[in-house]
Amino acid sequence: MTVSTVSVDSLAIEPSLKYLITELEELYGQMDRLYAQKSAHYGFECTGCRENCCLTRFYHHTFLEYIYLRKGFAGLPASKQAAARQRAEAYLDVLAKSESGQNGPPFRRMCPLNESGWCLLYAWRPMICRLHGIPHEFAPPGRSNRVYGEGCAEFIAACGHLPYSPFDRTPFYVRMSELEGRLRKSLAVSGKSKKTNAHMLVQDEVPVDAVY
């Protein structure tokens, strides 16, 4: 079957996807509420640090989050969109050199959506941006053992001495996978997605197995 492409911005305003967008927003709300609850349990509050997670290279793996981020991006003033895309191009240039082994040190560069210390699309940010920072666990598919994460350096410094309060990401991953599966079935989406926020700002197409 021939693979075609569809504009991600056209999908962001596609009426038939409104129900999936709504369910994604509900899922994000569940993440935010549980994260806030667990952070409060530890007495931990992120106020910024040298190990800023916005400097971390995060890859996002769902077309649904790609579409949702671009839906939020479309609401920014044209000048902010242009500036963010310019930062994204510079980000990807450095990333390409880093991944080819030209730069040497581990890749650390500010997310192009961060402007003067603030996320331009905070309400639209992807899942990993919402869940990063505090101790957690999850059950990978097909494995009997669970994976545990200790939290970011700032958390460890401030609260690492405290007993772990269970924060299971598994239900969020499962639900996100379900929503992504429905999107892929609805649009005949082809292939995998692996994008940083920078990729999502400068790339404009979603591959499908038939003309949408």
pLDDT tens digit sequence for 5-38: 899 999 999 999 999 999 999 999 999 999 999 9
Confidence (pLDDT) at 212? 46
Confidence (pLDDT) at 2? 60
Confidence (pLDDT) at 60? 94
% the chain with pLDDT above 70? 93
**What one-letter code names the amino acid at 54?**
C
Token pair in block for residue 106: 């581990």
82 contact partners, CB below 8 Å, separation of at least 6? none
Residue 135: closest CA among 115, 120, 156: 156
Q: Measured between alpha carbons, how far is 188 from 182 in angstroms, rounded to an integer?
A: 10
11 contact partners, CB below 8 Å, separation of at least 6? 17, 67, 187, 206
pTM for this predicted structure: 0.91
Q: Measured between alpha carbons, how far is 138 from 102 in angstroms, rounded to an integer?
A: 35
Going by pLDDT thresholds of 50, 70 and 90, the confidence category of residue 208 is confident
Q: Bridge partners of 177? A: none
The stretch 61-65 carries a mean pLDDT of 96
pLDDT in tens, 96-131: 888 877 656 677 889 999 998 889 999 999 999 999
In the chain, the N- to C-terminal Cα span, in Å, equals 14
**What one-letter code names the amino acid at 118?**
W
Confidence (pLDDT) at 1? 55
Residue with tokens 């349990």: 41
Q: Measured between alpha carbons, how far is 75 from 80 in angstroms, rounded to an integer?
A: 10
The domain segmentation of the chain, as residue ranges, is 4-208
Q: Bridge partners of 123? A: none
| pLDDT reading at 175 higher than 90 | yes
* 134 or 108, greater pLDDT: 134
Confidence (pLDDT) at 85? 97
**What one-letter code names the amino acid at 159?**
C
109 contact partners, CB below 8 Å, separation of at least 6? 55, 57, 91, 94, 95
Going by pLDDT thresholds of 50, 70 and 90, the confidence category of residue 54 is confident
Contact 88, 201 (CB under 8 A): yes
